Structure 1
């Protein structure tokens, strides 16, 4: 039975999981209970979903460090590395600017904060804040591992300590180590080889976690339906609609238009980026999806591996058109309208500035609270407004992350096309059922690696091999 399941395309597994998640969420609501006293099915769904997210978050810290070091090392043999990096940053900024402009326009047209039906008592100051001072301070590592500890007391007075990681500090640490290793030269080769080997091991473990995505989808979506139902979504219906219209415009209009302007097929863009989009939607983590996004760029879009291994990890930590552009723009306008605050042209320019410059605050993990509070504090809006939106955040985060990863794959393709280094033949090849270039058009290594995504019933499946989305994710060509 397990062998038969492996032959089912991964996309179909996720689709079935989405349907089951909604169905089980509805069943759980019919069984009674509430968020404070959930029934057994709700507890089960919550446990499954939270466990999947915890597994992803566990693998993110080493993935950030190893991927960033590897991406920097992979550029050391590229003659135009500085130009490629500059072009990447430029197009990250251009697409973010377009996305935030769409978000502001939708907020002004739809006016989601007026007559929303949201209970004002749900307004609450979030536990996590974002500010420019905090953003700058967070760039300075407090320890080598980027760890932070917090102690809290429960109702009985017992103390518990929990550890968390600061993704921005990890990025800074990894950049420093990567640049230092490149500068050291030959004597650093053993370290870089070890880093590459460790990265491949981490990617293997991550693939094992990714294979649980259909199960995690059932838990996450089912728990979201149970916890919030359609009532909360209805109260925030205009806001949710505005966000998803913005995401759809970026995904289905802006991105294909940019691809077409650069002589790339819009249809091939959609078919090629689908494996990353579906996993991003489920996992709600750009970093967790990063290996799949990178393989999309290499295998489907024909982006050279030495460049993809830099641009995609970099984009997974800083390129957030969904979380850092559309969402904070619409949310800031929602909060302003809800509390009756008039925004001027300067405020809108500040929203644009934060979205284009401050997107690294999201750091590729789930949620966008830090980015939202950074935007609200910059514009001077009440941070309590964040509490009004938290109820639908998991549902919005799915679409936001899917948009994020689509942009993270598109920009390397655009830059490669502009620099004349893209493999157009690979970009235009037909995709297989696994979402990647069809087996007959791949090299032998790609064919073997892709099989584990359940590409077709005829292809052999080896459960111990990672798919094309994971194999050799950061090796140099």
Structure 2
């Protein structure tokens, strides 16, 4: 070996060497790596400060800048929604052929989606009855306005089947996209080997979309500055004061489900540690809080669910399915509280049958929320079912972005929770991986994990 030659090293050794010596560091100099959660927190704090500055000092250019930053971030998330949902559902359905008792797993998943939704809507109703969120707000029916679009059972049921294959993607009708993907996935299963080229292409496209969405996810701290800053600059603290009881109810209700019901189910049903679950799922929960999009968070939710020991083939079905139908925050707690709030504003008395209808709508109609930011469609569906004035939606639009953060975080936590519960009960959960979630940080996947899951989307570091 010559004096100028270098010893051969393996890929893992190179990665280890790079980890020990960050790029751009000199002798004795080490640049610390800022965890993703810390970047998010910094974005939240900076957003609040800039929003307060823009509002208090009436700085129009700062107000506009915050609006544009937040809007662009959300738009980038939405850009990938239609193709991401289609290929994720298609691939997830076809991946079920690799899992034993696929039909049983699918039915158990749907069952637990319904059970947790019922629990969540019951909590929302109880909190609303105790606190009377519409009383003492000073709001009147004149303060409301009908939404431009509304949901009804006729629209919901007939709207599942599209009139063509293009409109669902151009109009971003996620429910119709799910229908098309489900039909395509089932057809591919029936074709067997003849569908192999299509499935290979679909998996490649899904990987491409996930990779592109990963770049957007890395922008979440910047998007946080814009979204939070604009909310503060536009609405201010006075608006939160007007809706103080309702806002507190939504956050308390979501917190009870997120940190009360979910841990209880993990202990009593799944027989696993709740602390380990939150350690593993936290990257997805925090991203959901910022992005306000279950679908936008879906690649990260898939990643953390796999890291919690749920088999990849089952995860690839359960999480995309949950991202479009599993909405404990937006479709259970929120519409229950909102219905009570609006009924009190409009002086409408709700009876037992009305509360049962709220529960029914929450369980059956949750797909109407479509995993996008906001829950207006679900709210109008609930109000129309109860016969409440749709003008009530206008009372809640202004405060919605602030509420949507906690709602979406609860949604995503539930989307990771149910696969863990089902996998544990069906004896397919890898308990060693689940229990090692804290030992192997989710935001720094090791080489072995990356090699074994080439299609997985890495969680932000």
Shift of the alpha carbon at 1:195? 0.2
Q: Are the counterparts in 2 of residues 294 and 469 from structure 1 also a CA contact under 8 Å?
A: no
The aligned counterpart of 1:212 is 219
- In structure 2, which of residues 88, 93, 105 is the aligned counterpart of residue 72 of structure 1? 93
Shift of the alpha carbon at 1:363? 0.9
The aligned counterpart of 2:9 is none
The aligned counterpart of 2:244 is 237
- In structure 1, which of residues 15, 28, 31 is the aligned counterpart of residue 57 of structure 2? 31
The aligned counterpart of 1:159 is none
- Give the 3 Å change call, closer, same or farther, for CA 5–191 of structure 1 in structure 2: farther
Q: Are the counterparts in 2 of residues 9 and 434 from structure 1 also a CA contact under 8 Å?
A: no
The aligned counterpart of 1:358 is 365
Q: Are the counterparts in 1 of residues 86 and 180 from structure 2 also a CA contact under 8 Å?
A: yes
RMSD of aligned residue pairs (Cα, Å): 2.1
Q: Are the counterparts in 1 of residues 214 and 458 from structure 2 also a CA contact under 8 Å?
A: no
Is residue 143 from structure 1 mapped to residue 167 from structure 2 by the alignment?
no
The aligned counterpart of 1:286 is 294
Shift of the alpha carbon at 1:119? 5.5
The aligned counterpart of 1:331 is 338
The aligned counterpart of 1:461 is none
The aligned counterpart of 1:50 is 71
Shift of the alpha carbon at 1:467? 5.7
The aligned counterpart of 1:381 is 388
- Give the 3 Å change call, closer, same or farther, for CA 350–72 of structure 1 in structure 2: same
Q: Are the counterparts in 2 of residues 273 and 293 from structure 1 also a CA contact under 8 Å?
A: yes
SS of aligned partner of 2:97:
coil
- Give the 3 Å change call, closer, same or farther, for CA 5–20 of structure 1 in structure 2: farther
The aligned counterpart of 1:187 is 194
Shift of the alpha carbon at 1:116? 1.2
Q: Are the counterparts in 1 of residues 289 and 409 from structure 2 also a CA contact under 8 Å?
A: yes
How far, CA to CA, are the matches of 1:334 and 1:447 in structure 2?
Answer: 51
The aligned counterpart of 1:317 is 324
The aligned counterpart of 1:8 is 34
Is residue 176 from structure 1 mapped to residue 183 from structure 2 by the alignment?
yes
Structure 2 counterparts to residues 385-400 of structure 1, below 5 A? 385-400=392-407
- In structure 2, which of residues 61, 70, 83 is the aligned counterpart of residue 62 of structure 1? 83
Cα deviation 1:299-349 (Å, max 9, x = unaligned) = 1x1000110000000000000000000000000000001111000100000
How far, CA to CA, are the matches of 1:369 and 1:334 in structure 2?
Answer: 15
Cα deviation 1:132-175 (Å, max 9, x = unaligned) = 00101210112213348xxxxxxxxxxxxxx5221111110111
The aligned counterpart of 2:123 is 102
Is residue 134 from structure 1 mapped to residue 136 from structure 2 by the alignment?
no
How far, CA to CA, are the matches of 2:23 and 2:143 in structure 1?
Answer: 45
How far, CA to CA, are the matches of 2:451 and 2:248 in structure 1?
Answer: 40
The aligned counterpart of 2:47 is 21
Shift of the alpha carbon at 1:281? 0.5
Is residue 271 from structure 1 mapped to residue 292 from structure 2 by the alignment?
no
Is residue 407 from structure 1 mapped to residue 414 from structure 2 by the alignment?
yes
How far, CA to CA, are the matches of 1:432 and 1:402 in structure 2?
Answer: 24
Shift of the alpha carbon at 1:443? 6.0
Shift of the alpha carbon at 1:76? 1.4
The aligned counterpart of 2:5 is none
How far, CA to CA, are the matches of 1:139 and 1:71 in structure 2?
Answer: 20
TM-score, length of structure 2 as denominator length: 0.90
Q: Are the counterparts in 2 of residues 11 and 434 from structure 1 also a CA contact under 8 Å?
A: no
Shift of the alpha carbon at 1:2? 10
How far, CA to CA, are the matches of 2:140 and 2:222 in structure 1?
Answer: 33
How far, CA to CA, are the matches of 1:99 and 1:5 in structure 2?
Answer: 44
SS of aligned partner of 1:468:
coil
Q: Are the counterparts in 2 of residues 131 and 373 from structure 1 also a CA contact under 8 Å?
A: yes
Cα deviation 1:241-294 (Å, max 9, x = unaligned) = 000000000000000000011211011111111010011001110001011111
Shift of the alpha carbon at 1:184? 0.7
- In structure 2, which of residues 246, 251, 267 is the aligned counterpart of residue 260 of structure 1? 267
How far, CA to CA, are the matches of 2:125 and 2:337 in structure 1?
Answer: 6
Cα deviation 1:180-204 (Å, max 9, x = unaligned) = 0110111100000000000000000
SS of aligned partner of 1:112:
coil
Cα deviation 1:408-448 (Å, max 9, x = unaligned) = 00000000000000000111114268545x76xx5613389
How far, CA to CA, are the matches of 1:6 and 1:356 in structure 2?
Answer: 46
Is the radius of gyration larger for structure 1 or structure 2? 2
How far, CA to CA, are the matches of 2:148 and 2:442 in structure 1?
Answer: 40
Is residue 91 from structure 1 mapped to residue 109 from structure 2 by the alignment?
no
Is residue 446 from structure 1 mapped to residue 450 from structure 2 by the alignment?
yes
TM-score, length of structure 1 as denominator length: 0.87
